[in-house]
Amino acid sequence: MNAGCPLCEAVGGRLVFEHPQFRVIHADEPGFPAFYRLVWRDHVREFSDLAPTLRALCMEAVALIETCLREQLAPAKINLATLGNVVPHLHWHVIARFEWDAHFPAPVWATAQRERDVAREAEIALRLAALESLMVERLRSL
């Protein structure tokens, strides 16, 4: 617990799953309807601050989220990243990217290349409940 850290003091999004070591949240990032984050419970700055067994747990959870996104949404690509320049509390972005999203193929942090397709975003949003149900079932086995 680090006073003033937004990921210590708040969930950071819509809670999908809680594990003793981490939580999975759906991030409210306009334009990216299937944007999840794995947030490490403890206030850890860098990935390499985790012990090897915890790194393995962390990345198996990330891979599991990725697999569910691929199976349920068939995205053009998955993007994984841990940056933390602004909020240095270990969290992994797991983002399903689509050819129609406003930034594709550029990173989500780059300048938009086209208008958003809100109809397609809404179609994806309707599929998140089934996706998250599967994700939670599998995350419980970790």
| Residue 141 interacts with a copy of itself (CB under 8 A): yes or no | no
The number of residues that bind a copy of itself (CB under 8 A) is 34
Compute the distance between CA of residue 4 and CA of residue 71 in angstroms, rounded to an integer. 38
User: Based on CB atoms, which residue is closest to a copy of itself, 14 or 71?
Assistant: 71
For 10, phi then psi, to 5°, come to -150, 165
| Residue 2 interacts with a copy of itself (CB under 8 A): yes or no | no
Q: Which residues contact 86 (CB under 8 A, 6 or more apart)?
A: none
Compute the distance between CA of residue 73 and CA of residue 45 in angstroms, rounded to an integer. 31
Mapped onto helix, strand or coil, the DSSP state of residue 21 is coil
| Residue 61 interacts with a copy of itself (CB under 8 A): yes or no | no
| Residue 79 interacts with a copy of itself (CB under 8 A): yes or no | yes
Summarize as ranges the residues that interact with a copy of itself (CB under 8 A).
45-48, 52, 55-56, 59-60, 62-63, 66-67, 70, 76-86, 88, 97, 104-107, 109-111
